[in-house]
């Protein structure tokens, strides 16, 4: 009994707790001094990171493809709408995190039992591994545009991920990643270099026009792909765990919401900018099927947005892959460590967090290694990623709704009737769209 008491005392005074307490003390002082902007600066991070992280390599290719196929029109407000939906979903993870101080994977495990716990963890970790492969494909493609060999690009990507983990401090990791994630905004100057007609953009935003001619399979697939590019299972797991790791509490919910909204706005701006930057290829009647990677788009766009614009585009694509590799590998770490009930924080040292860091290091090395295997079925993996992410979105969203309505753990932060109506409709819509996309991708000839 005395031994167990001593152990609990040791755990209570762990490095993780001390570092988090230091961060919370800064928050307490800023709140007491009434410094609203500083408070937001201290509490923001997970929301911006999750939204910009989801603007990853394949997502940016999806937005660029939309620009090539349909140009300026219906898809601009549609992309904005998908980020509104992403905000509604992600806001629930903030409330879950502050109410329970637990990650998403451990809550599923504890509240619904080992079957669903292991299922959620396994599907996330497997899906994340394949997604990591696609991020390294994006990094490799971006490197090719700048004349780097695949091995050098992939090695650089791996080293950046490892360097971020070596920080062993959540706050520093988050700030470093935020700085890198702002590279997502490189698509905005690239879009300006495409000289889109302001009237056309405003008309598209106001009237959702022009509508693409005909409601065919191609249109439906792109629409569903854009939804899949905005809301995915790893985001739910990542933001909830990151909010817990950062140490937000119930009084921080407004800042957590603002953080998520700012992230959604920035990510929507980058996504729409990607579409606008690629739109000149629509006017030139380019064939989207010939453009598979970020480097293909950058090369094809050079005559229209110039060397500078194409360079920004290629850099943006590389950065998108890099940031996503860091957030997605961390999301796997959180989920695995939470399910195994071992140390799960970026504030841990390597000994205490060997499972946590091991998962990120292992999945990064595996994904990077797969990309470098000559003749590896990379296209098959990219397709499988989309199918896994979209088909398994339904279970992830269902558990999110069940947990956020669980009054025993949520207390006053549980969904109200209005939130359930809005959230439920969006969740059902996204889950159905995901399932339709998954089935269509499989059976599309």
Q: Is 341 among the residues that bind other proteins (CB under 8 A)?
A: yes
| Tokens 């991920």 sit on residue | 161
Q: Is 438 among the residues that bind other proteins (CB under 8 A)?
A: yes
Q: For other proteins, which residue of 381, 410, 426, 433 counts as binding (CB under 8 A)?
A: 381
* Total of chain residues touching other proteins, rule CB under 8 A: 55
| Tokens 């700048």 sit on residue | 146
Report the distance separating Cα 227 and Cα 80, nearest Å: 10
Residue 281 preceded by cis peptide, ω within 30: no
Q: Is 101 among the residues that bind other proteins (CB under 8 A)?
A: yes
Residue 255: count of CB within 10 angstroms of its CB: 21
Using the rule CB under 8 A, give the single segment among 167-175, 178-186, 314-322, 377-385 that binds other proteins: 377-385
Q: For other proteins, which residue of 201, 395, 419, 420 counts as binding (CB under 8 A)?
A: 395
| Tokens 């770490």 sit on residue | 333
CB of 254 closer than 8 Å to CB of 41: no
Q: For other proteins, which residue of 80, 110, 189, 265 counts as binding (CB under 8 A)?
A: 110
Report the distance separating Cα 86 and Cα 318, nearest Å: 23
Per-residue interface string for the shown chain with other proteins, residues 275-314, x marking contact by CB under 8 A: ----------------------------------------
Closer residue to other proteins (CB): 425 or 442: 442
Closer residue to other proteins (CB): 155 or 435: 435
Q: For other proteins, which residue of 156, 167, 365, 383 counts as binding (CB under 8 A)?
A: 383
Residues 235-274 that bind other proteins (CB under 8 A): 247, 249
Q: Write down how long the chain is.
A: 445
Tokens of 19: 């570092």
Tokens of 407: 């009054």
Report the distance separating Cα 395 and Cα 127, nearest Å: 14
Report the distance separating Cα 46 and Cα 246, nearest Å: 8
Rounded to the nearest whole angstrom, what is the least distance from the CB of residue 369 to other proteins in the complex?
18
Q: List all residues 6 or more positions away from 40 whose beta carbon is below 8 Å from its beta carbon.
A: 255, 258, 259
Closer residue to other proteins (CB): 19 or 204: 19
Q: Supply the angle between the helices 57-70 and 114-145 in degrees, to the nearest 10.
A: 70
Residues 23-82 that bind other proteins (CB under 8 A): 24-25, 27-28
Residues that bind other proteins (CB under 8 A): 5, 8-9, 11-14, 16-18, 20-22, 24-25, 27-28, 100-102, 106-107, 109-113, 116, 119, 247, 249, 341, 343, 377, 379-381, 383-384, 387-388, 391-392, 394-395, 398, 402, 406, 408-409, 435, 438-439, 441-442
């Amino acid at each position: 009994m005395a031994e167990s008491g001593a152990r609990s005392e040791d755990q209570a005074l762990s490095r993780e707790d001390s570092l988090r307490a230091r961060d919370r003390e800064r928050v307490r002082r800023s709140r007491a001094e009434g410094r609203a902007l500083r408070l937001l600066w201290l509490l923001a991070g997970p929301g911006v990171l999750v939204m910009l992280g989801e603007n990853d390599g394949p997502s940016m290719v999806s937005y660029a493809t939309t620009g090539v196929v349909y140009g300026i029109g219906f898809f601009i407000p549609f992309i904005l709408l998908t980020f509104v939906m992403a905000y509604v979903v992600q806001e629930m993870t903030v409330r879950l995190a502050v109410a329970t101080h637990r990650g998403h994977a451990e809550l599923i495990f504890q509240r619904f039992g080992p079957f669903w716990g292991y299922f959620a963890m396994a599907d996330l970790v497997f899906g994340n591994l394949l997604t990591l492969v696609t991020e390294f494909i994006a990094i490799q493609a971006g490197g090719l545009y700048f004349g780097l060999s695949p091995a050098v690009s992939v090695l650089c990507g791996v080293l950046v991920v490892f360097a971020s983990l070596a920080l062993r401090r959540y706050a520093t990791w988050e700030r470093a990643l935020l700085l890198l994630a702002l590279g997502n905004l490189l698509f905005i100057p690239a879009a300006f270099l495409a000289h889109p007609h302001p009237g056309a953009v405003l008309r598209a935003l106001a009237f959702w026009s022009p509508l693409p001619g005909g409601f065919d399979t191609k249109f439906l697939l792109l629409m569903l792909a854009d939804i899949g590019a905005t809301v995915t299972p790893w985001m739910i797991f990542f933001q909830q765990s990151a909010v817990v790791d950062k140490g937000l509490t119930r009084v921080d919910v407004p800042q957590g919401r603002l953080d998520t909204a700012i992230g959604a706005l920035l990510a929507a701006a980058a996504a729409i900018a990607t579409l606008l930057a690629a739109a000149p290829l629509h006017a030139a009647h380019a064939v989207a099927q010939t453009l598979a990677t970020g480097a293909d788009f950058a090369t094809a766009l050079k005559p229209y947005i110039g060397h500078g614009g194409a360079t920004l585009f290629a850099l943006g694509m590389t950065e998108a892959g890099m940031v996503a590799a860091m957030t997605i590998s961390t999301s796997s770490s959180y989920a695995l460590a939470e399910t195994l009930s071992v140390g799960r924080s970026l504030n841990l040292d390597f000994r205490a967090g060997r499972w946590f860091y091991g998962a990120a290091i292992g999945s990064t090395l595996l994904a990077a290694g797969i990309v470098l295997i000559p003749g590896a079925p990379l296209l098959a993996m990219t397709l499988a990623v989309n199918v896994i992410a979209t088909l398994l979105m339904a279970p992830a969203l269902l558990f999110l709704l069940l947990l956020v309505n669980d009054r025993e753990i949520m207390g006053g932060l549980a969904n109200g009737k209005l939130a359930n109506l809005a959230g439920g409709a969006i969740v059902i819509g996204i889950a159905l769209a995901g399932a339709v996309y998954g089935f269509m991708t499989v059976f599309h000839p």
